[in-house]
């Protein structure tokens, strides 16, 4: 019994040129959503910091009676806790934005591939990449996967197409204010 080597490549390098407007639309939508969520996170962070500062001020008055050193330690600890809470909220907001971006992108790509002409175009690209005798099958998420007799495979599932498209984008811009 001999082992068969399977080589899998991603279809990302061969995405249809028609997806460029989709990428741009997704990026614009994601930026708008990110700006809103970042603004919300910033407001939450400011409130947390304001509350922490108010608590620190009250504790500072009590601490003065016990000494400046103890008060300084409490102020630093409260500020650090506020910064950590603010950062945690910001990271959660960024995670939600990213998850929403991926979900919307998958829905849009699945909708595009529901068009028979686009689906045929993707199938033609897979067959061209794998050569004569390639077998192209649908994936559960609405995409395609192609393979040839040698075991090479090209994954053009919706999830992989979106992952490859997003991998080529600098999503750090989503978290940077304009």
Ordered mean pLDDT values, 10 residues apiece, the chain (178 residues): 51 63 81 81 78 78 73 88 91 89 94 96 95 94 95 96 88 75
For the chain, the straight-line distance linking the first and the last C-alpha, in angstroms and rounded, comes to 60
9 SS3 class: strand
In this prediction the pTM is 0.54
- The string of DSSP codes covering 62-94 is HHHHH-HHHHHHHHHHHHHHHHHHHHHHHHHHH
Residue 57, SS3 per DSSP: helix
Q: 3-state SS string over 89-125?
A: HHHHHHHHHHHHHHHHHHHHHHHHHCCHHHHHHHHHH
pLDDT given for residue 13 in this prediction: 53
Phi, psi of 42 (to 5 degrees): -65, -40
Q: What is the pLDDT of residue 45?
A: 75
Give the pLDDT confidence score for residue 169 in this predicted structure.
82
In contact, 53 and 139? CB cutoff 8 Å? no
The domain limits of the chain are 8-175
Q: Tell me the per-residue pLDDT of 95-122, one tens digit each, with 9 for 90 and over.
A: 898 899 999 999 999 999 999 999 999 9
Residue among 99, 104, 151, 144 nearest 124 (CA): 144
């Amino acid at each position: 019994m001999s082992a068969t080597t399977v080589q899998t490549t991603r279809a990302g390098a061969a995405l249809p040129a028609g997806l460029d407007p989709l990428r741009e639309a997704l990026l614009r939508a994601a930026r708008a959503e990110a700006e809103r969520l970042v603004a919300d996170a910033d407001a939450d962070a400011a409130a947390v910091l304001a509350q922490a500062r108010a608590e620190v001020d009250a504790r500072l008055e009590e601490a003065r009676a016990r000494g400046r050193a103890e008060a300084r330690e409490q102020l630093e600890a409260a500020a650090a806790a506020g910064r950590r809470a603010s950062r945690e909220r910001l990271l959660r907001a960024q995670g939600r934005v990213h998850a929403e971006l991926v979900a919307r992108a998958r829905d849009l790509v699945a909708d595009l591939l529901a068009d028979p002409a686009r689906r045929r175009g993707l199938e033609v690209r897979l067959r061209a990449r794998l050569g004569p005798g390639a077998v192209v099958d649908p994936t559960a998420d609405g995409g395609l996967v192609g393979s040839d007799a040698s075991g090479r495979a090209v994954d053009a599932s919706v999830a992989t197409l979106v992952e490859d498209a997003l991998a080529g984008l600098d999503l750090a811009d989503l978290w940077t204010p304009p």
